[in-house]
């Protein structure tokens, strides 16, 4: 990694004010605090400032490379036509093709997609895989749409973006309210346009269409690996360590199950509409079966119902927010009683909450490290598709563990050397890697 010399250094306060129009002492309003793009930008600016990043590179990396807005006409089952708005933001392709999921939700916004795309850039750089960052979203209510309507929406969205997607351009994956089937539709649509089957255009596909073993559990597995490393780093015994997980979807359920298998005591699971608590520990295998049968964790006989917000603030060794953004803010961070915070979700902690947690001495494993297991195994899937040769699940998991462990210790080294919080250390590590590649490539003119 190239050193940053005195010639590239600028006065820190002047750099921030000149590039962003504010200094890092400018307070964020509550609305700004909850804006994911503002939150990402605040962390980016602090990392760039501490690295003494030269203004030109700072300006390049602070903004997305490309933002695409498409309006998608879809014939609904009742014969009417609805027009949906979709986004794809490509933040950086300096280190490789864009990589990032596609989410379907009524509250998708361009600022949210921008933030998620930039987080993907930093996440891929933290674990040192050759991807840049991208993200997509469509404003819709998938729960109110039939399978046929979702297929038509997905195929038209893909066709609208066809020139911007590809194994060497931008590789989508599942995200909120999208899944293996969604990826199969995208792969098929892209393949029909190119006249050949191109399995490597997406990841998170069914195994029968070139998916990777271990991909479904990968984000949760990565969370469990860095949780192990955090407790080792702090000299804490994982056996019997109490864990609360917020969210019991793909990431939260697999995180909880893998930690439970290792001997952690999962004392609480919080969902958006309530939680479960058992001070002696929940049986996660039985809880997963209960949810699969009943569609919800509620009513599970092995735990007591509890308010989800109350559970989030209950004393525990490890708290894992694994659902949505802005779970911990300036309004509740002071009441967090966890010793270790491992962010399974993207952006669950606002910048203001970061400062409060740091004052409380909470050890944070930031999202761009903690939940990078998913994109790392997506990289493995992309590699396997391009080789036409597939690995065993054990090989996938062993490679994932090696990368996650190495990345955890890379971040800890930056935190020690620069005397910064773990989150800023992760941003500094990522930004240093992307900035170095950007300097090497130069500016095409």
Enter the DSSP assignment of 201.
G
pLDDT over 70 at 20, yes or no: no
Residue 39 is predicted with a pLDDT of 87
Min mean pLDDT across 10-14, 87-91, 311-315 is at 10-14
pLDDT for 237 beyond 60: yes
The mean of the pLDDT values for the chain is 93
Nearest to 75 by CA among 144, 159, 143, 156: 156
DSSP one-letter code for 366: -
Q: Identify the pLDDT of residue 8.
A: 32
When computed from its CA atoms, the radius of gyration of the chain, rounded to whole angstroms, is 21
Q: Reply yes or no on whether the pLDDT at 10 is more than 60.
A: no
Residue whose C-alpha is closest to residue 395's, from 380, 379, 375, 410: 380
> Which CATH homologous superfamily contains domain 218-370?
NAD(P)-binding Rossmann-like Domain (3.40.50.720)
Question: Mind giving me the DSSP string for 74-105?
Answer: EE-TTS-EEEEEEEEEEEE-SSSSEEEEEEEE
Judge contact between 429 and 411, C-beta under 8 A. Answer: yes
In angstroms, the CA 184 to CA 163 distance is 18
Q: 406-438: per-residue pLDDT in tens?
A: 999 999 999 999 999 999 999 999 999 999 999
Compare 2 and 173 and report the one with higher pLDDT. Answer: 173
At the topology level, CATH places domain 66-198 in Rossmann fold (3.40.50)
Q: Taking each helix axis as running N to C, give the angle between helix 36-50 and helix 12-20, from 0 to 180 degrees, rounded to the nearest 10.
A: 150
Among the listed residues 250, 99, 216, the one whose alpha carbon sits nearest the alpha carbon of residue 167? 99
| Angstrom distances, CA of residue 442 to CA of 2, 117, 182, 435 | 14, 22, 37, 10
Confirm if 322 and 246 have CB atoms less than 8 A apart.
Answer: yes
- Catalytic residue list: 135
Q: How confident is the model at residue 28 (pLDDT cuts 50, 70, 90)?
A: low
CA distance 224 to 247: 15
Give me the pLDDT at residue 26, please: 57
Q: Render pLDDT for 323-359 as a digit per residue (tens, 0 to 9).
A: 988 999 999 999 999 999 999 999 999 999 999 999 9
Domain boundaries, the chain: 6-62+423-441, 66-198, 218-370
Give the pLDDT band of residue 33 (cuts 50, 70, 90). confident
Contacts of 296 (CB under 8 A, 6+ apart): 271
* pLDDT tens sequence across 96-128: 999 999 999 999 999 999 999 999 999 999 999
Tokens encoding 165:
């997607």
pLDDT over 70 (residue 178): yes
Helix extents (H) in 295-419: 308-312, 351-360, 367-370, 373-387, 393-418
Nearest C-alpha neighbor of 118 from the set 20, 45, 204: 45
Q: Give the Cα separation of 122 and 126 in Å (integer).
A: 6
pLDDT at 18: 55
Query: Among residues of the chain, what percentage have pLDDT more than 90?
Result: 89
CB 243 within 8 A of CB 266: yes
Q: Is 267 helix (H, G, I), strand (E, B) or coil?
A: strand
Distance, CA of 142 to chain centre: 21
pLDDT of residue 52: 96
Mark out the alpha helices in 78-177 (DSSP H runs): 110-126, 147-160
| Neighbour tally for 67: CB within 10 Å | 15
Give the residue-averaged pLDDT of 33-38: 86
Mind listing the pLDDT tens digit for each residue in 242-296? 999 999 999 999 999 999 999 999 999 999 889 999 999 999 999 999 999 999 9
Q: Are 282 and 248 in contact (CB under 8 A)?
A: no
User: Going by DSSP bridges, is the β-strand pair 274-277/265-271 parallel, antiparallel, or unpaired?
Assistant: antiparallel
pLDDT at position 29: 64
- Residue % of the chain over a pLDDT of 70: 93
> CA 343, 347, 349, 351: dihedral to nearest 10 degrees?
130
């Amino acid at each position: 990694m190239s050193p940053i010399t005195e010639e590239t250094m600028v006065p820190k306060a002047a750099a921030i004010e000149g590039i962003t129009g504010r200094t890092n002492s400018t307070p964020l309003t509550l609305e700004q605090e909850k804006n994911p793009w503002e939150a990402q930008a605040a962390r980016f600016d602090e990392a760039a400032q501490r690295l003494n990043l030269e203004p030109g590179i700072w300006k390049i990396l602070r903004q997305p490379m490309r933002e695409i807005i498409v309006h998608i006409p879809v014939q609904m089952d009742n014969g009417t036509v609805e027009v949906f708005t979709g986004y794809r933001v490509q933040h950086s392709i300096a280190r490789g093709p864009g990589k990032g999921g596609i989410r379907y939700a009524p509250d998708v916004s361009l600022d949210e997609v921008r933030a998620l795309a930039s987080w993907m850039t930093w996440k891929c750089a933290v674990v040192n895989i050759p991807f840049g960052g991208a993200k997509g979203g469509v404003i819709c209510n998938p729960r109110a749409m039939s399978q046929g309507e979702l297929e038509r929406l997905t195929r038209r969205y893909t066709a609208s973006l066809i020139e911007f997607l590809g194994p060497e351009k931008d590789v989508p994956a599942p995200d909120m309210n999208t899944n293996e089937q969604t990826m199969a539709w995208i792969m098929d649509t892209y393949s029909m346009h190119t006249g050949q089957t191109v399995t490597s255009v997406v990841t998170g596909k069914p195994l029968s269409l070139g998916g990777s073993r271990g991909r479904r559990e990968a984000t949760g597995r990565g969370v469990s690996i860095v949780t192990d490393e955090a407790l080792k780093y702090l000299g804490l015994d994982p056996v019997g360590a109490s864990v609360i997980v917020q969210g019991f979807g793909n990431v939260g359920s697999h995180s909880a199950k893998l930690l439970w298998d290792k001997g952690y005591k999962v004392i609480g699971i919080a969902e958006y509409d309530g939680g479960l608590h058992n001070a002696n520990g929940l049986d996660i295998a039985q809880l997963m079966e209960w949810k699969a049968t009943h569609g919800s964790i509620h009513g599970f006989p092995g735990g007591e119902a509890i308010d989800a917000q109350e559970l989030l603030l209950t004393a525990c060794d490890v708290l894992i927010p694994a659902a949505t953004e802005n779970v911990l803010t300036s309004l509740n961070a002071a009441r967090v009683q966890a010793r270790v915070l491992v962010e399974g979700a993207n952006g669950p902690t606002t910048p203001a909450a970061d400062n409060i947690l740091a004052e409380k001495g909470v050890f944070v494993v930031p999202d761009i490290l903690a939940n990078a297991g998913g994109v790392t195994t997506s990289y493995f899937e992309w590699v396997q598709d391009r080789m036409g040769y597939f690995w065993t699940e054990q090989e996938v998991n062993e490679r994932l563990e090696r990368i996650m462990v190495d990345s955890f210790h890379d971040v800890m080294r930056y935190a020690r050397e620069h005397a910064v919080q773990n989150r800023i250390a992760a941003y500094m590590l990522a930004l240093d890697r992307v900035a170095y590649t950007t300097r090497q490539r130069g500016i095409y003119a």
